[in-house]
Structure 1
Amino acid sequence: MLAALYPCPAMPIQAIAFDLDGTLIDSVHDLARAANLARADAGLAPLEVDAVASYVGDGAASLVARTLADDHHAEFTGSELQRAAMGNFDRHYKAGLKIATEFYPQVQHTLAELHAAGYPLAIVTNKPERYTLPLLELLGIHERFDCVVAGDTLPQKKPAAEPLLHAAAALNVPAQALLMVGDSKNDLLAARAAGSPVVMVDYGYGENVAALGADALISAFDELPAVLAALNTTV
């Protein structure tokens, strides 16, 4: 259900930017598979899927570092082991971007509805471009998006404001009129830094999202059109 609204946006919403993993798609099983294969390459035991899910959100390099930190601690960072693990993860993940990855319920229908309503749509993710663009193709939704900002498109990534500011410029709308939809603290912080309104989903990989103070909180993706209507009537 649509949660109570927080401070209203500064102007009507003209475009929407979406996080990818944990918001549009559930990719954790493929991420965990690649991470655990990389761990096996290093002679390490597999991690639980929930543990890998808790490491998602800051990009692939951070994910790989976190999956090995308990075994290698400080000496891991910047080491040859880190570079080898990243290379192995990259190889394994590229080989199976969409083995188990699937849309959350009602995502495809709702994206089509928003696209038909004339909203320009963007992806703003910390996932590297080498994974993001092929995955959007495999999912069959790449044509829905007028702009894709990946984790390495710019020198900065979420929680910095620049990815959202870049998306707003590409969509030719003010940042204050670009709604960010995500599942993590990075999404909220990026939106606040850019001056953009933000809606959080509570079904993704982020923790305690209800306490972050988003403009709205939803539990199902098809609640988003009602959120747009509610936010725009409060302007």
Structure 2
Amino acid sequence: MKTIEHVQAVAFDLDGTLCDSVPDLAAAANAAREHLGLSALPIETVKSYVGDGVAKLIHRVLTETYEEEAEPAQWEQGFTFFIRYYHDHLSVYTRPYPETEAGLKLLKSLGIPLIVITNKNEVLAVELLKQLGLADYFSLILGGDSLSEKKPSPLPITHAAEVLNIQPADMIMVGDSKNDILAAKAAGCLSVGVTFGYGDMTMLSQNEATKPDWLIGSIPEIYENLQPQKEVENR
């Protein structure tokens, strides 16, 4: 496992890293499709479309492809309906992963700021974290629309480092997708891939460009690797 001299902040992706939100995303996506006279998609299909923000998700849900764009009027209708429906049903089925809160508590005990950097719209991300009882763990929450660029751009990570008055090299970025790893590498901070999220870490690890520096099976593992370092620093 690679190490750095001192970790001064930990940034987390949201969907597929801190919580399993696919059931509610799929329900909202299918409600939007029904509103437009389309049939429901399997939850696994919607899951494969998650990770690049709501705007992209709606294009994918409506075209049933990864790259094609829906006709503008249809997309606008679908997007508007989805946002309204999803905002009202954010945490019907969405739950933090089993050891998320325990891991966040342990990391907070080290006295380092925790951050969320997600491609989900900021308003939705903040509200979801509140509903899950996790919002108070975080010093900063950046959504996909908080800045001019979102992951895989390094901008959200470099912006967070600037706000916290630290260097990106002193942060780690924890996520489940290619976007998280690419953003971390471009920003110059260590990438930590979770093996329980939506991304295929085995596949991503086979490519040097998307291979995370660390792989973890639970959030508390971060604490376990940082704790000895903090003990040394505090002597």
What is the TM-score when the length of structure 1 is the normalising length? 0.90
In the superposition, relative to structure 1, how do residues 104 and 88 fare at CA in structure 2: closer, same or farther (>3 Å)? same
CA distance, structure 1, for counterparts of residue 218 and residue 174 of structure 2: 12
- In structure 1, the gaps of 5 or more residues are none
- In structure 2, the gaps of 5 or more residues are none
**Does 1:40 find its partner at 2:40?**
no
Question: Residues 6-85 of structure 1: matches in 2 within 5 Å?
Answer: 7-9=2-4, 11-70=5-64, 76-77=70-71, 79-85=72-78
What fraction of aligned residue pairs are identical, expressed as a percent?
41
Amino acid at match of 1:210: S
Amino acid at match of 2:115: A
User: Which stretch shows the higher mean deviation, 190-199 or 167-176?
Assistant: 167-176
What's 1:223 paired with?
Answer: 221
What's 1:165 paired with?
Answer: 158
The Cα RMSD (Å) is 1.9
Could you give the per-residue CA deviations for residues 79-107 of structure 1, whole angstroms, max 9, x where no partner exists?
10010000011111011000000010111
CA distance, structure 2, for counterparts of residue 195 and residue 230 of structure 1: 23
What's 1:134 paired with?
Answer: 127
CA distance, structure 2, for counterparts of residue 67 and residue 75 of structure 1: 10
In the superposition, relative to structure 1, how do residues 218 and 39 fare at CA in structure 2: closer, same or farther (>3 Å)? same
Does structure 2 conserve the Cα–Cα contact (< 8 Å) formed by 1:200 and 1:209?
A: no
Shift of 1:68: 1.1
CA distance, structure 2, for counterparts of residue 75 and residue 56 of structure 1: 15
SS in 1 for 2:10: strand
Question: Residues 162-201 of structure 1: matches in 2 within 5 Å?
Answer: 162-201=155-194
How many residue pairs are counted as aligned between the two chains? 225
SS in 2 for 1:225: helix
Shift of 1:218: 1.0
Does structure 2 conserve the Cα–Cα contact (< 8 Å) formed by 1:176 and 1:197?
A: yes
CA distance, structure 2, for counterparts of residue 133 and residue 74 of structure 1: 29
CA distance, structure 2, for counterparts of residue 123 and residue 114 of structure 1: 14
Greater RCO, 1 or 2 (C-alpha within 8 Å, sep 6+):
1
What's 2:205 paired with?
Answer: 210
Does structure 1 conserve the Cα–Cα contact (< 8 Å) formed by 2:55 and 2:79?
A: yes
**Does 1:156 find its partner at 2:132?**
no
CA distance, structure 2, for counterparts of residue 122 and residue 202 of structure 1: 20
What's 1:92 paired with?
Answer: 85
Does structure 1 conserve the Cα–Cα contact (< 8 Å) formed by 2:100 and 2:219?
A: yes
CA distance, structure 2, for counterparts of residue 133 and residue 75 of structure 1: 28
What is the TM-score when the length of structure 2 is the normalising length? 0.90
CA distance, structure 1, for counterparts of residue 131 and residue 104 of structure 2: 16
In the superposition, relative to structure 1, how do residues 162 and 37 fare at CA in structure 2: closer, same or farther (>3 Å)? same
SS in 2 for 1:54: helix
Does structure 1 conserve the Cα–Cα contact (< 8 Å) formed by 2:13 and 2:180?
A: yes
